[in-house]
Structure 1
Amino acid sequence: MTSEPDRDTVDGNDDVVGRYDDYVMPIWKSLNVPVKRASNCTVEDYEGNEYLDVFSGISVTNVGHNNEAVVEAAKAQLDEFVHGCSYVHPSEQVARLGERLAEITPGDLQKSFFCNSGTEAVEGAIKLARKYTGSKEVLALEMAFHGRTLGSLALTGNKAYKSEMAPTINDVAHVAPPYAYRCQMCSGGPCSCACADDLERVIGTHTSGDLAAVVVEPVMGEGGIIVPPNGWLERVKEITHDHGGLLIVDEVQTGYGRTGEMFATEHFDVVPDILPQAKGIANGMPLGAFTASAEVADAFEAGDHLSTFGGNPVACAAALATIDELEDGIVENAREQGAWLSERLADLEAEFDVVGDTRGLGLMQGVELVDPDGDTGPMGVAPEPAPKVAKQVGNRLKESGIIIGVGGYHKNVMRFQPPLTISRDQLSRAVDSLHDALAEVET
């Protein structure tokens, strides 16, 4: 008689993947590296293979996998209590984290609502904007990503995420993104911020004049690491306020040192009205937040918005430790290593025809791959995107022991978003491996 397998043991990578296939609903598994343990910038699978991680769980483990200070802070809180529901029982960790966010977020942002994820933070920010303004309509960017629940999906400007899942918020319109490489308005020439000015046209033609908010990412992550030109965010805020709306800047992916500043809006000297955040906030513990000025935040009355697990004290303890770690030289490292990485990636753009564009801020950098011999790509400018080549390059890097993101609206962008603790030697190894992979696909 054949004995049943031991559910408490795992027999290699295939066993883990097989159990996913049998018992977990379909998810994104393009990297397909089952992780047994991780430390700083390295992950290890169930067969002892080690990988340099330059994607950090989609820009989450900003202070390194298994950061000792963060782990110890979470363990210490576990010994005290795990759950008291922060919206029923006040706790020290939640109060302290709210105070810290008031200190580190831009401008006069002061009061925070804690939730569990970036998606929830964006949805809560929309509710707050509607309550404060008394208006309902929301504008977002084409190619943007703000989450996958039905409300946040309405803001997301990508058909691939919406297929057969029509969102429930109907009062949403979209405006062109600041995608200089494939600009619809500048035709590849010098950027004029015309896409920001086009917000006026969209408000006039696609809304009823009942604007609650405009939602943007300061650097578009899932869209392909798209960095807006100087003046763009400032102009968007000006137009938004002219029409009575609030500017919501989604820093879920860009926050907590990712771009070389604590928050990406600091590069553009713009203070949002509401700032959703998550991912790097607690280095992998489930936590999100949205922060607003006292005036805007006080539009919420008790009970207007609640979250059973939001502000979990263990996650908040991890977040406090994460912020301390970031301020102890890690944000500075992201700035310095990001500047070096940007130069190295620009060298690849100059060397390889298949590299159409490189761009980014800090340790949020993208390499857009194209077919130099193909037709003109979408929007009538720049070569055709090369998603198949990007997938090949990603697989080649994985074979070399490098985990990198492959994404973008056209699925043709290699995404460098490593832990912000990464060393120059580790980055150099990743870029050298990318160079070799590009050389292989271009021959």
Structure 2
Amino acid sequence: MRRFMEKRVLLGNSISRWRRSLSSTAQTATASVHDSDEFIARLPPFDYTPPPYNGPSGDEILGKRKEFLSPSISCLFRKPVNIVDGKMQYLFDENGRRYLDAFAGIAVVNCGHCHPGVVEPVINQIKRLQHPTVLYLNNAIADFAEALASKLPGDLKVVFFTNSGTEANELAMMMARLYTGCQDIISVRNGYHGNAAGTMGATGQSNWKFNVVQAGVHHALNPDPYRGMFGSDGAKYARDVHEIIQYGTTGHIAGFLFEAIQGVGGIVDLAPGYVPAVYDIVKKAGGLVIADEVQSGFARTGDFWGFEAHGVVPDIVTMAKGIGNGFPLGAVVTTAEIAGVLTRRSYFNTYGGNAVATTAGHAVLRVIEKEKLQENAAEVGSYLKQKLIQLKDKHQIIGDVRGRGLMLGVELVTDRELKTPAAAETMHVMDQMKELGVLIGKGGFFGNVFRITPPLCFTKDDADYLVEAMDHSMSKM
């Protein structure tokens, strides 16, 4: 009898556990349906279906990356997405799922993925001649140099082609030192200028610095209107540059290197009045002003160049990323007088001015003008920024919304008063947005800033969907 009762109790407990499990499963299923129903927004219609993908799976590719690529290379999301196709502002994964691309290959694909106005000229060029070297005459490099120079003000007419933004900034710093006869360069804290020895020295974040010699660069206070000690008072930040020259150099410098909007640093728009004030200070010290337009150039900010909003004309302009819509291409543009310093020795870049790359660059200029992408960046960017500011009023986790055109940043904090960085929450929201079909980037020293830099063909409908996906993801935290 006792054994019978014990079995009965055990059976009763098992049935209770089964009922609780069933109830829990039902609740989970109900919650899943509820969550799915709650987010009713849909990606804007798009008339393109990618061809079937028959390549290796994402897991296979990840395995090869781990075995054969540098361990320093990471993926943007916790569960990496295998991108196999792209068209304009959209990307497609191995299963044919469409994503809204709000990162554009790190502010690179300004015209849109696989834009026919870029692809077709490149195909025609590569069929005929791929790499003649600039030691021979070829019209591709000359025509693009002329078109590019026409986009710059004043005497900025001489072009040097490179393969990347890092190379462009390295060359610009060397030219400034040769021209002035001085060695000291001043750059801004929190800025990013590349990962070679010289540009790593100019970069103002420990995250991107290895323990190698990085001499001759001084870092000025970051004129950050959100986190900076002087708020939006650009003149006060500029005094720090003056004091660095007075107390940290001979009183004469080679140059000042800056980003009009700090990209990697978290889409930080420099405080009003800062750049013009620093321009005067640097000129009095005999230095050159170098504008790093690697991320902010080629119509991304609503102006063609980011420096235009600051009312100055630099002595040297560096560029890459958006210049080729994805082709490895960079450039340095300066005056004939400054360019002359490179004739003192031999300067050469094997791939700089490659026929295919410069054909792509020339095509980019034509597409930007023909499709009025600069105007679109200004209009849609302003619309999107206002929507994000409205979202800030709803979600306390948003500490700041900033940027210009389609170069926007959203900084997340756990405490608005203390501005405590919300790095883990940023990654969580990014992953959730990816599940809803939106790809964005992140940056900032603490990794707590959304970098929104989509292709410049982005529409207001795209902007609406991005904001709704961000809103939903934050509401579910």
TM range (shorter): over 0.9
- Residue 67 of structure 1 corresponds to which residue in structure 2? 115
Structure 2: unaligned runs, 5 residues or longer:
1-52
Shift of 1:303: 4.6
Matched, 1:159 2:226: no
In structure 2, do the counterparts of structure 1 residues 192 and 210 end up closer, same or farther at CA, with 3 Å as the change threshold? closer
The one of 428, 439, 442 equivalent to 2:464 is: 428
- Residue 75 of structure 2 corresponds to which residue in structure 1? 29
Shift of 1:9: 6.5
Separation of aligned partners in 1, 2:466 and 2:111: 19
- Residue 452 of structure 2 corresponds to which residue in structure 1? 416
Shift of 1:192: 4.7
Name the aligned partner's letter for residue 362 of structure 2: L
Name the aligned partner's letter for residue 94 of structure 2: Y
- Quick check: 1:151–1:167 contact (8 Å CA) kept in 2? no
Separation of aligned partners in 2, 1:305 and 1:230: 38
Separation of aligned partners in 2, 1:191 and 1:150: 32
Deviations for 1:346-385, whole angstroms, at most 9, x for unmatched residues? 1112221111110010000000000127x83xxxxxx211
Matched, 1:81 2:129: yes
Separation of aligned partners in 1, 2:391 and 2:235: 27
The one of 129, 142, 152 equivalent to 1:95 is: 142
User: Secondary structure in 1 aligned to 2:266?
Assistant: coil
In structure 2, do the counterparts of structure 1 residues 18 and 9 end up closer, same or farther at CA, with 3 Å as the change threshold? farther
In structure 2, do the counterparts of structure 1 residues 9 and 206 end up closer, same or farther at CA, with 3 Å as the change threshold? farther
Q: Which structure has the larger Rg?
A: 2
For 1:125-274, what aligned pairs fall within 5 Å after superposition? 125-162=172-209, 165-184=210-229, 186=230, 188=231, 191-274=233-316
- Per the normalisation by structure 2, the TM-score is 0.86
Separation of aligned partners in 2, 1:49 and 1:15: 19
Matched, 1:46 2:127: no
Deviations for 1:307-352, whole angstroms, at most 9, x for unmatched residues? 1111111010011110011112111110100110111111112221
Name the aligned partner's letter for residue 207 of structure 2: A
Deviations for 1:187-234, whole angstroms, at most 9, x for unmatched residues? x5x525311221011122222334111100000011111111332111
Separation of aligned partners in 2, 1:333 and 1:191: 30
- Quick check: 2:185–2:253 contact (8 Å CA) kept in 1? yes
Name the aligned partner's letter for residue 271 of structure 1: V
User: Secondary structure in 2 aligned to 1:113?
Assistant: strand
Separation of aligned partners in 2, 1:41 and 1:19: 28
In structure 2, do the counterparts of structure 1 residues 407 and 211 end up closer, same or farther at CA, with 3 Å as the change threshold? same
User: Secondary structure in 2 aligned to 1:108?
Assistant: coil
Moved more, 247-256 or 167-176: 167-176
Matched, 1:56 2:104: yes
- Residue 319 of structure 2 corresponds to which residue in structure 1? 277
- Quick check: 1:13–1:47 contact (8 Å CA) kept in 2? no
- Give identity over the alignment, percent: 35
- Residue 359 of structure 1 corresponds to which residue in structure 2? 402
Shift of 1:126: 0.7
Separation of aligned partners in 2, 1:170 and 1:304: 24
Structure 1: unaligned runs, 5 residues or longer:
1-7, 377-382
Separation of aligned partners in 1, 2:346 and 2:429: 48
- Quick check: 1:124–1:305 contact (8 Å CA) kept in 2? no
Separation of aligned partners in 2, 1:69 and 1:127: 35
Shift of 1:267: 1.4
Name the aligned partner's letter for residue 418 of structure 1: P
The one of 114, 120, 124 equivalent to 2:161 is: 114
- Residue 380 of structure 1 corresponds to which residue in structure 2? none
- Quick check: 2:440–2:451 contact (8 Å CA) kept in 1? yes
